[in-house]
Amino acid sequence: MKLLTLARDLSRRKAREKHSLFIAEGVRSVEELVRSGLKVRGALVAPQLATAPRGQALRATFDESGIDVLDVSEKDFRSAAQTESPQGVLAIGEVPVRSVDTLEVGAVCRLLVLDGVQDPGNVGTILRTAAALGATATVALPGTVDLWNPKVIRSSMGAQFTHQAFHAGHEELIAFLGREKIVLWATAANGQPLDPASAPGRLAIAVGNEGAGLSTEVADRAQQTVSLPIAGNVESLNVAVATAIFLYELRR
Name the site residues for a copy of itself (rule: CB under 8 A). Answer: 121, 125, 128-129, 131-134, 157, 159, 162, 228, 230-231, 233-238, 240-241, 244-245, 248-249
Q: Based on CB atoms, which residue is closest to a copy of itself, 6 or 34?
A: 34
- Cβ closer to a copy of itself: 31 or 146? 31
Q: Which is nearer to a copy of itself, 210 or 217 (CB)?
A: 210
Least distance CB 45 / a copy of itself (angstroms): 25
CB of 5 to a copy of itself, least distance (A): 30
Written as one string, the DSSP assignment of the chain is: --HHHHHHHTTSHHHHHHHTEEEEESHHHHHHHHHHT--EEEEEE-GGGGGSTTHHHHHHHHHHTT--EEE--HHHHHHH--SSS--SEEEEEEPP---TTT----SSEEEEEEES---HHHHHHHHHHHHHTT-SEEEEPTTSPPTT-HHHHHHHTTGGGTS-EEE--HHHHHHHHHHTT-EEEEEEEEEEEP-GGG--SEEEEEEEBTTTB--HHHHHH-SEEEE----TT-----HHHHHHHHHHHT--
Closer to a copy of itself at the Cβ: 6 or 135? 135
CB of 245 to a copy of itself, least distance (A): 5
Query: Minimum CB separation from a copy of itself for residue 163, in Å?
Result: 9
Least distance (Å) from a copy of itself to the CB of residue 81?
Answer: 21
63 or 84: CB nearest a copy of itself: 84
